[in-house]
Amino acid sequence: MQLASLSTLNYRNLAPGTLSFPAGVTGVFGENGAGKTNLLEAAYLALTGLTDVTRLEQLVQSGEREAYVRADVQQGGSLSIQEVGLGRGRRHLKVDGVRVRTGDLPRGSAVWIRPEDSELVFGPPANRRAYLDALLSRVSARHAGHLARYERTVTQRNAALKAGEDWSLHVWDDVLVKLGTEIMLFRRRALTRLDELAREANAALGSRKTLILTLSESTTPETYAEDLAARRSEEFARGATVTGPHRDDLTLTLGEFPASEYASRGEGRTVALALRRAELELLSERFGEKPVLLIDDFTAELDPGRRAFLLDLAASVPQAIVTGTERVPGTAQTLRAHGGRFTPEEEAAPADPVTADPVEAGA
Ligand SMILES: Nc1ncnc2c1ncn2[C@@H]1O[C@H](COP(=O)(O)OP(=O)(O)OP(=O)(O)O)[C@@H](O)[C@H]1O
Ligand SMILES: [Mg+2]
């Protein structure tokens, strides 16, 4: 998978235009507020159709009503054009001019690593569940469908609980148990591999403590129907569905303790990076092709080991875009970011062994 070029119009502070990206690493450096994160966010959106902003209007340049991003994507020898239009709370997606839904875009096309990823470790359980749900939805469209229908069912069931509609509950329960069971079983299967990949990555990052990923389930596929029935009166009292995969947590155990409560900041940062590398590997295995790797602000990483890990990871994939407030070493292209514009720079001439002093070179 390769992003040949990215075009944007009215996207946050980015100046309208098209940027080309070669294979290998593109380094983007510039001062705070230059638009580096916005560039990666736009690339991720154009590649995957995904964004995690709460209001799509945030992505539209202030004073404008609509924004547009386009990725020209090279995949397996063919070029396709992915377009995302944003406006008034809606996103329109097109592939080669044909309207599609988010799930129809190539699902393994990009992985985005950013400083905020520490929140996967230290934030609330919902963050880890969101990581797992988002990743597994990309691995399996069927799982994505189950999750979406399950979430709608929980909402409708909660409304019935609040309204005290005892008579309608058995209908919702049947659907909930069927979808919830599918979700739990798929999560368990996928987690086996994700756990291995994250453990390997955590060790590769030099951590001496073992990382283990486990699901803390509020129920099991075998007992879901019973568990629901047992908590019926509590559910009516609270007006909410209290058991099921929407309440599960992805527990990250580092050494002997849960990382969310016991890990140091640096250990947590390492675990977050391990989760992202595991994501990259899982998507590569699933789709047989490496995603485009987007790394935001490698300079925020002060630990030399983790910095080297990030740069090595970028060099290990066919294409990566790496941002920072300082120049990124070892790039195929360097862009200087300034006020939402990105200007290609001449590479600093590497030491040329042919023209170097023969005595020195031979020494
Ligand atoms: N909808 C919007 N319209 C106009 N400008 C916006 C919009 N959203 C964000 N911005 C501006 O975009 C600017 C660049 O933000 P961005 O996060 O990309 O900077 P950055 O280069 O990553 O900086 P840092 O090095 O601090 O991470 C910010 O100054 C912000 O005010
Ligand atoms: Mg930034």
Confidence of residue 362 (pLDDT cuts 50, 70, 90): very low
Q: What is the DSSP string of 66-108?
A: EEEEEEEEEETTEEEEEEEEEETTEEEEEETTEEE-GGGS-TT
Which residues have CB under 8 Å from 328's CB, separation 6+?
25, 27, 28, 29, 298, 311, 322, 334
Q: Is the beta carbon of 299 within 6 A of some atom in ligand 1?
A: no
| Shortest-distance Cα residue to atom 26 of ligand 1 | 32
pLDDT of residue 347: 58
pLDDT of residue 356: 43
Residue type for position 153:
T
d(CA 343, CA 328): 15
Mutation test residue for ligand 1: of 10, 28, 29, 38, the one with most atoms within 8 Å of CB: 38
Confidence of residue 102 (pLDDT cuts 50, 70, 90): confident
Dist. CA 37 → ligand 2 center (Å): 4
pLDDT digit string, tens, across residues 257-268: 999 999 999 999
Q: What is the DSSP string of 293-319?
A: EEE--GGG---HHHHHHHHHHHHHSSE
The encoded tokens of residue 28 equal 């983007």
| Shortest-distance Cα residue to atom 8 of ligand 1 | 12
Q: Pick one of 3.40.50.300, 3.30.70.20, 3.40.50.620, 1.10.10.10 as the CATH number of 1-109+293-350.
A: 3.40.50.300
Q: Is the beta carbon of 249 within 6 A of some atom in ligand 1?
A: no
| Shortest-distance Cα residue to atom 28 of ligand 1 | 33
| Shortest-distance Cα residue to atom 12 of ligand 1 | 13
Which residues have CB under 8 Å from 360's CB, separation 6+?
none
C-beta of residue 189 within 8 angstroms of C-beta of residue 286: no
User: Which residues of the chain are in CATH 1.20.1050.90 domains?
Assistant: 117-290
pLDDT of residue 168: 85
Atom nearest to 62 CA in ligand 1: 3
pLDDT of residue 361: 39
pLDDT of residue 302: 85
Checking if the pLDDT of 359 tops 90, the result is: no
Which residue numbers belong to the known binding site for ATP?
A: 30-37
Closest CA to 318 of 290, 286, 358: 290
Return the percentage of the chain with pLDDT > 70, whole number: 95
Query: What pTM does this model have?
Result: 0.92
Output the CA–CA distances (angstroms, integers) from residue 212 to 47, 122, 203, 261, in the order listed.
Answer: 31, 16, 11, 15
The closest ligand to the CA of 86 turns out to be: 1
pLDDT of residue 170: 87
Confidence of residue 358 (pLDDT cuts 50, 70, 90): very low
The encoded tokens of residue 35 equal 């638009």
Residue type for position 9:
L
| Shortest-distance Cα residue to atom 31 of ligand 1 | 33
d(CA 179, CA 189): 16
Which residues have CB under 8 Å from 99's CB, separation 6+?
92, 93
Mean pLDDT across the chain, nearest whole number? Answer: 93
C-beta of residue 206 within 8 angstroms of C-beta of residue 305: yes
Which residues have CB under 8 Å from 197's CB, separation 6+?
277, 278, 281, 282
Which residue numbers belong to the known binding site?
A: 30-37
The encoded tokens of residue 38 equal 């916005």
Mutation test residue for ligand 1: of 8, 10, 13, the one with most atoms within 8 Å of CB: 13
Checking if the pLDDT of 363 tops 50, the result is: no
Dist. CA 316 → ligand 1 center (Å): 29
pLDDT digit string, tens, across residues 20-77: 999 999 999 999 999 999 999 999 999 999 998 989 999 999 999 999 999 999 988 8
Confidence of residue 346 (pLDDT cuts 50, 70, 90): confident
d(CA 227, CA 296): 43
User: Which residues of the chain are in CATH 3.40.50.300 domains?
Assistant: 1-109+293-350
User: How many of the other CB atoms lie within 10 Å of CB of 334?
Assistant: 20
Dist. CA 32 → ligand 2 center (Å): 7
| The CATH fold of domain 117-290 | Glutathione S-transferase Yfyf (Class Pi); Chain A, domain 2 (1.20.1050)
Q: Is the beta carbon of 13 within 6 A of some atom in ligand 1?
A: yes
Checking if the pLDDT of 107 tops 60, the result is: yes
The closest ligand to the CA of 15 turns out to be: 1
pLDDT of residue 26: 98
Residue 17, CB-side half-sphere exposure with 13 Å CA sphere: 10
pLDDT digit string, tens, across residues 189-210: 999 999 999 999 999 999 999 9
Closest CA to 43 of 312, 296, 290: 296
pLDDT of residue 77: 85
pLDDT of residue 355: 46
Atom nearest to 31 CA in ligand 1: 25
Q: Is the beta carbon of 35 within 6 A of some atom in ligand 1?
A: yes
Residue type for position 215:
L
Q: Is the beta carbon of 33 within 6 A of some atom in ligand 1?
A: yes
Q: Is the beta carbon of 37 within 6 A of some atom in ligand 1?
A: yes
